[in-house]
Structure 1
């Protein structure tokens, strides 16, 4: 019997399964970071605008 072929096939299946899990994790992480960056950016812009508005009184 050819055990080398079976071991190679099992290794390929294991590697394929790991790749599927890694790709799913990257996809989920990418969506999380995209959503988070939008919230951070809008919050930072809003705070920056507020600080500029507070400085405006010193230049009038």
Structure 2
């Protein structure tokens, strides 16, 4: 029963799950914004920047 009480590997498993979740979120964000950064979509960064700059003035 001593093996069941040993929790020395629990921290490593939690870090693996945490980093795995961060990687999944990063990949999902890249897939969502891929068209935005590639310039193939109707929306692109340069037009957004000029729109924001003109609205600030």
TM-score bucket (shorter structure): 0.5 to 0.7
Q: Does 1:38 align with 2:30?
A: no
Aligned twin of 2:14: 10
- Larger radius of gyration between Structure 1 and Structure 2: 1
Calculate the TM-score normalised by the size of structure 1: 0.50
Q: Which residues of structure 2 form unaligned runs of 5+?
A: 43-57
Calculate the TM-score normalised by the size of structure 2: 0.53
The structure that is helix-richer by fraction is 1
Shift of 1:29: 1.2
Q: CA RMSD in A?
A: 2.0
Aligned residues: 38
